[in-house]
Amino acid sequence: MLFSIIVFIAVLSLLVFVHELGHFISGKLCNIYIDQFSIGMPPRLFGVRIGETDYCIGALPIGGYVKMAGQEDIPLDDAEREREYGHVPPERWFRNRPLWQRYIVVISGPLMNFVLAIFIYTILVSKGTYLPEMELEARVGKIEENSPAQKAYVYQYIEGVTQKNKYSSTQNLTGWKTGDRIITINGRKIEKFSDIFLGAAIGGTEKEHTVILERTNPDGTTQKLISFLRPEIIGDSEVPRYGITPFYSALIEEVLPGMPAEKAGLQKGDIILCANNTVVDRVTFVELTEKTPPDKPMQLIVMRNNERIYIELTPTSVGRLKGLSLKEVTLSKGSKGLQIADISEEIQTKTGLRRKDIITKINGKEFSIEDLRAYEINHPGETLELEVYRPPVLLGLLESSSYLVAKISLEKVNAIGVTLGERLIKVDYPPSQWIPEALKRSYADLKQTILILRGLIVGSVSPKVLGGPIMIFDATSKAASMGITWLLNLIALISVNLAVVNLLPIPVLDGSLVLLLTIEGIRRKPLSPKLQERFQQIGIAIILMLLVLVSWNDIRRILTDILP
């Protein structure tokens, strides 16, 4: 926890420092008197005055500011202004500088946040990175039952024709397929899976979406298709979705001894492209294998060293603890347990188990994940007796800890005897592409942020997706635990978000000053102090409402995670 707090404060401080540095540098260049440069909000902890400026650290690490003469978030009266800045020559006041200089000073903060993102992405690009497939291509993984993607009509694409009435209903195919590559959604180019998610969320449920996709056939040939569908709110989703998951290649991480895969010659590092003439990914291959009738051979197409290899093998029956997702945890006195990370409603009803329960023993013995997987292979259909510890809920305020015994069967399924891992792709760029690629990634973040804001305004994106400091803390903690590359990517994304949000025309944010300066430029004089004060009051009310909203969203997420 302490490490997570340190990371959170460091990330927040970096973002605020860079933002305020933009205001500071441009203010100095425009000869504006800067009284204080603070990282953190008052009260002031410590600092040093160099020349006219006090460089300091505030006690609250939730922001920062540059205090300039004549730049007032809440207008001062003449007496207050004289007390604050009476010693400063009037020509050095922010309000008395030329309009174009004030514009530069105001937008320099958000601009520096965007520059920070470019700088971070340049570092990441220069050293090369291993990225999951979903970050490099927009391919369809598993398709959910009765989802828009499963029900959608798909037609052979006629180049340049996107009107639905131009396609014959007698020439359609039904449903997207695993492995389909999404090229565009409503004319917008799609490059990674998050673009598909964003396309569904931003487009909303009110109108039909036009999706152009590319389908790779089992023989390696491709065809271009077009589809028309409306995304839907599925289950407890808070945004419209097409009903698909990312595509994860069926990469063989381990071949289990004595199983059909080993006998058929499958090797670690092989990628299963197709099974029984169907393109598969990790999830769909497992499901297809489990459903294969007993003693019926499977025909696989496997990629090995960029060669397509054809393999036939017959799955064997094994046991599978289905409907439970488990992770290893350490209990008191160093003993291990298997915590239920997720559980299906069916299994929960049958067994009485629930999320966050910890399985301490199976048939009277401690089991690791590896032990359980090995046991499953040789005991299909067997009923297991689970000794379970149920942790307290909300420190015991809602529910005390307890122990229970549950029984669950190892369901008989077919398997070939492999474990599948995640495929990471090494991406290297020549030096000439470092900055262009960094600009491309920063622009993609900028476009995504603007589209989400637009979706919030028009109502196609639920306000429930918004988060505050708690969500950022959680995100930085998880990113830091995954490694410096993930953390830097997150910092760049947040920095771009901060740049965009700060330019919104809401008082207290830089965008409000941009708006006031624009009005001043049109009127040839600033708004009256009274109107500016009313403007600030309305803005503060808006900010407080937003704080309440994001805080409630954060609390709701915490409760969802804590409660079983």
Query: What are the backbone dihedrals phi and psi of residue 466, each rounded to the nearest 5 degrees, phi first?
Result: -70, 150
Distance, CA of 273 to CA of 219 (rounded, Å): 10
In a domain, 476, yes or no: no
- Contact between 553 and 468 (Cβ < 8 Å): yes
Kindly give the parts of the chain with pLDDT less than 70. Answer: 1, 72-78, 80, 169-172, 460-461, 562-563
Q: Are residues 371 and 402 located together in one domain of the fold?
A: yes
In a domain, 446, yes or no: no
Q: Are residues 202 and 299 located together in one domain of the fold?
A: no
Q: Are residues 52 and 148 located together in one domain of the fold?
A: no
Helix (H) or strand (E) holding 273: strand 271-275
Q: What is the pLDDT of residues 5-36, one digit of tens each?
A: 888 888 888 898 899 999 999 999 999 999 89
Q: Supply the pLDDT for residue 127.
A: 87
* Residue/partner pairs of 69-75 with CB below 8 Å, 24 or more apart: 69/32, 69/33, 69/34, 69/35, 69/93, 69/94, 70/32, 70/33, 70/94, 70/95, 70/96, 71/32, 71/95, 73/507, 73/508, 73/536, 74/533, 74/536, 75/529, 75/532, 75/533, 75/536
Distances from the Cα of 169 to the Cαs of 151, 172, 228, 459, in angstroms? 14, 6, 12, 32
Q: Are residues 497 and 544 located together in one domain of the fold?
A: yes
Query: What are the backbone dihedrals phi and psi of residue 365, each rounded to the nearest 5 degrees, phi first?
Result: -125, 150
Q: Supply the pLDDT for residue 469.
A: 72
Q: Supply the pLDDT for residue 209.
A: 93
* 15: its two tokens: 């973002």
Instruction: Supply the range of the domain harboring residue 228.
Output: 140-246
Could you tell me which of 42, 20, 242, 214 has the C-alpha nearest to residue 111? 20
Q: Are residues 381 and 348 located together in one domain of the fold?
A: yes
In a domain, 442, yes or no: no
Q: Are residues 513 and 526 located together in one domain of the fold?
A: yes
179 dihedral zone (left: phi>0; alpha: psi -120 to 50; beta):
left
Among candidate residues 369, 395, 413, the one where a domain is terminated: 413
Within 10 angstroms of residue 548's Cβ, the number of other Cβ atoms is 11
Q: Are residues 17 and 98 located together in one domain of the fold?
A: yes
Q: Supply the pLDDT for residue 172.
A: 65
Among candidate residues 356, 379, 413, the one where a domain is terminated: 413
- Contact between 124 and 181 (Cβ < 8 Å): no
Q: Are residues 80 and 32 located together in one domain of the fold?
A: yes
Distance, CA of 118 to CA of 445 (rounded, Å): 11
Helix (H) or strand (E) holding 78: helix 78-85
Q: Are residues 14 and 65 located together in one domain of the fold?
A: yes
Helix (H) or strand (E) holding 412: strand 411-415
Q: Please name every residue paired with 162 in a beta bridge, in sequence order, or none if there are none.
A: none
Q: Are residues 182 and 237 located together in one domain of the fold?
A: yes
Q: What is the pLDDT of residues 460-494, one digit of tens each?
A: 667 777 777 777 778 888 888 888 888 999 999 99
In a domain, 345, yes or no: yes
In a domain, 162, yes or no: yes
Q: Are residues 276 and 356 located together in one domain of the fold?
A: no
In a domain, 419, yes or no: no
- Contact between 164 and 242 (Cβ < 8 Å): no
CATH of the domain at 301: 2.30.42.10
Number of folded domains that form the chain: 4
Q: Please name every residue paired with 60 in a beta bridge, in sequence order, or none if there are none.
A: 41
Q: Are residues 13 and 89 located together in one domain of the fold?
A: yes
Distance, CA of 218 to CA of 276 (rounded, Å): 9
Among candidate residues 398, 413, 428, the one where a domain is terminated: 413
Distance, CA of 311 to CA of 276 (rounded, Å): 11
Characterize the bridge pairing of strands 222-229 and 209-216. Answer: antiparallel
In a domain, 149, yes or no: yes
In a domain, 450, yes or no: no
